[in-house]
Amino acid sequence: MPKDSVLTVSQLNRYIKSLFDQNLLLKDVFLRGEISNFKGQYASGHFYFTLKEKDAAIKAVMFRSYASKVRFTPENGMTVLVRGEVGVYERDGVYQIYCREMQPDGAGDLSVAFEQLKKKLAEEGLFDQAHKKAIPRFPQVIGIITAKTGAALQDMLNILQRRYPSVIVLVRSVLVQGEKSAQDLCQAVRQMDQLGLCDLLIIGRGGGSVEDLWSFNDENLAREIYSCRTPVISAVGHEIDFTICDFVADLRAPTPSAAAELAVPDSKQLQFQLFSYERQMAQKMQNKIQMLEGKFERQRNLSDRFQSQLAALSAKIEGFRNHQALRSPYYAVEREQLRLQERKIRLDAMMQAKMELEQAKLKKAAGILDSLSPLQVMSRGFSVVSLQGKTVSHVSQLTPGDVVSIRMTDGTTSARILPKEEKE
């Protein structure tokens, strides 16, 4: 055999590699197959695996620059579509496909990534109902984490002002979509919670595509919400949209507007309930007074009957004393008369004490009822200030030049709010 016709292994592999490199059809190949022998090199970030079907297989590699763009985690047994270049690994003489893109076959990569993360966090207990905090019924300060330019913010502010005007709203403007939005959302949740100023946080945005809402599926954001000490309402997208943020939050609202409705009570409904309670209390007090008056009347009637019986008994004794047959035994008669008089004195004293006790109870009940009267509160110097028919409870509701109405115990008057310089 001529020596010049003998090739080294390296020469052969290099030659075969050049043949692959010259074939333009192998430069951009779409391939479907089932993943097996998957090895995710976490240090390097590369993916090494095999794509196989029933009777064939090919080795595959996906370098970190491309693997970092895959939004789901490849798993053994998963059927995928890949796009890449077929070439030869010269050292081992093995041909393989160098993947540039990968997506699940059938379902979209975002859908698979969502389900994978949802399953992972559920198994860790981040969605457990036992961990969820109660939403305060009467929050004084609410923090809203959303885009300041979005319509969702204005909708929430309008609803909060209409339903519960006394609530204070702190807005933390954030990016709600884009490459840096997830990091911005995480930082906002952490900052608002650490400040400790809010009784409740609302995080969300208006509707959009799956890609637009993807920042709210971020794993780091889910863990920030889970560890947040402040109760959180998630309000992302429309009613049909679900994100990881919805599952980990303490309460999920179908829309941002619904979140505002769930966050605060209706002040008008509260006023109606208070007025209803006041009427019920007044009615109960009136019923109690009527009951005591009836009891007092029955006691007085009983006293009158005792007095009548005593008078009749005295008259009978007097008749016995004047009877012709009993004129002589005066001692026995006088003794009985003294005993009756003593009983009469004790009975009078008992009746007087009973009447005084019942009168004291009646006076106490009347005093309690009188102390509950709004007019009684005004008589101690308090007054009610209103502006355009609405009660004013905070100085921040007034501006210089406003004309307010002041209701006192004997009538109503008006006053104008002066600027600070004129007040001094």
Q: Which fold has domain 138-265?
A: Rossmann fold (3.40.50)
- 364: pLDDT strictly greater than 70: yes
- 325: pLDDT strictly greater than 60: no
CA distance 31 to 39: 19
Per-residue confidence (pLDDT) for residue 70, from 0 to 100: 82
CA proximity to 285, closest of 398, 179, 367: 367
User: Residue 302 is encoded by which pair of tokens?
Assistant: 């009983």
- 94: pLDDT strictly greater than 80: yes
Q: In this predicted model, what pLDDT tens digit does every residue of 224-244 receive, in sequence order?
A: 999 999 999 999 988 888 899
- 380: pLDDT strictly greater than 80: no
- 110: pLDDT strictly greater than 70: yes
- 315: pLDDT strictly greater than 70: yes
- 377: pLDDT strictly greater than 70: no
Per-residue confidence (pLDDT) for residue 324, from 0 to 100: 54
- 160: pLDDT strictly greater than 70: yes
Per-residue confidence (pLDDT) for residue 331, from 0 to 100: 60
Contact between 188 and 145 under an 8 Å Cβ cutoff? The reply is: yes
Per-residue confidence (pLDDT) for residue 168, from 0 to 100: 95
Per-residue confidence (pLDDT) for residue 37, from 0 to 100: 87
| Beta-bridge partners for 146 | 173
On average, the pLDDT of the chain sits at: 85
Question: Percent of the chain, pLDDT > 70?
Answer: 90
Sign of the Cα torsion 6, 10, 13, 18 reads: negative
| Backbone torsions φ then ψ of 404, nearest 5 degrees | -110, 160
Beta-sheet pairing, 141-146 with 200-205: parallel
| Backbone torsions φ then ψ of 54, nearest 5 degrees | -60, -45
Identify which of 38-52, 242-256, 403-417 has the greatest average pLDDT: 242-256
Using 50, 70 and 90 to split pLDDT, how confident is the model at 107? low
Which helix H or strand E contains 379, and what residues bound it?
Answer: helix 374-379
- 261: pLDDT strictly greater than 60: yes
Identify which of 28-32, 148-152, 255-259, 303-307 has the greatest average pLDDT: 255-259
Per-residue confidence (pLDDT) for residue 270, from 0 to 100: 82
Mean per-residue pLDDT, 87-103: 90
Per-residue confidence (pLDDT) for residue 400, from 0 to 100: 86
Q: In this predicted model, what pLDDT tens digit does every residue of 184-208 receive, in sequence order?
A: 999 999 999 999 999 999 999 988 8
Q: Which CATH number, 2.40.50.140, 3.40.50.1100, 3.90.930.12, 2.30.30.110, labels domain 3-106?
A: 2.40.50.140
Domain range summary for the chain, segments of one domain joined by +: 3-106, 138-265, 268-372, 381-423
CA proximity to 293, closest of 372, 368, 363: 363
Mean per-residue pLDDT, 370-382: 68
User: Looking at per-residue confidence, does 161 or 395 come out higher?
Assistant: 161
Question: Percent of the chain, pLDDT > 90?
Answer: 34
**pTM here?**
0.50
CA distance 242 to 289: 59
Residues 6+ apart with CB under 8 A from 149: none
Contact between 13 and 94 under an 8 Å Cβ cutoff? The reply is: no
User: Apex CA 108: angle with CA 105 and CA 114, to 5°?
Assistant: 125
